[in-house]
Amino acid sequence: MRHGKARFVTGFLAIPVILYLYYVIWPFAQAAGYSFTDWGGYSDRPPGFVGLGNYSRLVKDELFQTAFWHNVFFLITVPLLTIALALFFAFLLNVGGRGNRAGVQGVWGSGLYKVIFFFPQVLSLVVIAVMWQQIYRGDGQGLINNLLIKLGIVDPQNPVTFTADPQPFLGIPAVLWWLLLIAIWGGVGFYMVLFSAAMQSIPKDIFEAALLDGAGPIHTFFRVTLPLLRDTVSVAWVYLGFIALDMYALVYVMTPSQGGPNHTSEIFASVLNFTAFSKGEFGYACAMGVALAVFALLLAAVQLRITRRERIEF
């Protein structure tokens, strides 16, 4: 019986696995191979083998390092802020309401809020970016500028330029903060729904017991809800990590000269794109891609390792 099952499973899996190997893994392997060459990308001129030359160049490449630190900024801020906000919303929507005879419940109208918060998730990232271009528009016709100018907060002669503003705020170019805002806005809804689902799977009696013991909402959240959501948060963290490592669509659509002004919003993907397609250095760009993949894998491994703990069964 056991033997027959294995054959059955293998039979079903063989074709997808072959397709996956050919269309996903094989290109990855090819890219890794090209990263050791000086292939230009537009011809089939036999590429010259340069060994680790591309990688040693990578270490010295100032632009790549700038991009690296910008990605690190997103890697820290995007998961942290998105998860914090999503948890806050999820908590309010599920257990944040006033405890009464009906037991633990969300705030009034939580069903509607859930739909509203989830809404950005149904839009593609490029649509979101185009929409935010209007919100961030750099003159009095922009949604935010218009409001701020009418309120007298912003000088009409000097409107906020948002993603075209390289001036540092807390040491980070303003353009990155404005991009961060969009990323969080776009991500929060999905994780709110994810955390809501996880919270609903926590038995109500645990919350009610806490309530009876006199725990306020803040205590309940930190002592009960958060520890029980540990696994879900950990998964969310990994997912948000790869969103932070990408960010390409936002940078591409929103920033001047795709990575500007003057390289202040360069990220891995924008440098890689410029290197491969504008400079025609595919070999070097492949090295960047491989470095990014290795970095991402290490990060995921470390992340999952750190958050691994004893599970609580319920």
Partner 1 sequence: MSNSPDTPSDLSRRNVLRAAAAAGLMAVPAAGALAGCASSTPSSSTAGGAKGADNPFGVADSSTVNVVVFDGGLGTEYAEKDKGIFTTKHGKVTVNLGKTQKIKTEEQPKFSTTPSDLINNSGADAMSTDVLVNENAILDLTDLLDAPTWEGSGTVRDSLLPGTVNDGTYNGKFYTLKYAYTVWGMWYDAALFEQKGWQAPKTFDDFFALAPKIQAAGMAPFVVDNKHGYYPRWHILATIWKSAGKQAAIDIDNLKPNAWKADGVLAAVSAIEKIVKDKLILPGFFDHTQSQQAHLDHKAAFIQLGTWYKNEMAKTLPANFKLTLSDYWSVSSADKAPNDVFAGAGEDWVVPAKAPNAAGAKEFLRAMLSVEGAGQFASLTDSLSSRKGSGDKVSDETLASANTLMKNAPKDLISWRFPDYYADFDKESQNQSEELMAGRLTAQGFIDKMQAMADKIAADSSVKKQTRSS
Given the rule CB under 8 A, which residues bind partner 1? 24, 26-28, 30-32, 34, 39-45, 137-140, 145, 156-159, 161-162, 164, 166, 231-232, 234-235, 238-239, 241-242, 245-246, 248, 256-257, 260-263, 268-269, 272, 274, 276-280, 282, 285-286, 288-290, 292-293, 296-297, 299-301, 304, 311, 313
* CA–CA gap between residue 274 and residue 245 (Å, rounded): 17
Smallest gap from residue 211 Cβ to partner 1 (A): 27
Nearer to partner 1 by Cβ, of 100 and 278: the residue is 278
Nearer to partner 1 by Cβ, of 45 and 101: the residue is 45
Smallest gap from residue 249 Cβ to partner 1 (A): 11
* CA–CA gap between residue 180 and residue 250 (Å, rounded): 9
Which residues make Cβ contacts (< 8 Å) with residue 73, sequence separation at least 6?
Answer: 172, 176, 180
Q: Which residue's structure tokens are 């991500």? A: 187
Nearer to partner 1 by Cβ, of 220 and 273: the residue is 273
- State whether residue 306 is helix, strand or coil: helix
Smallest gap from residue 56 Cβ to partner 1 (A): 13
Q: b/e per residue, 148-157, with b = 16+ CB within 10 A?
A: bbeeeebeee
* CA–CA gap between residue 208 and residue 71 (Å, rounded): 42
Smallest gap from residue 200 Cβ to partner 1 (A): 14
Smallest gap from residue 120 Cβ to partner 1 (A): 18
Nearer to partner 1 by Cβ, of 65 and 234: the residue is 234
- State whether residue 165 is helix, strand or coil: coil
Residues in the chain, how many?
A: 314
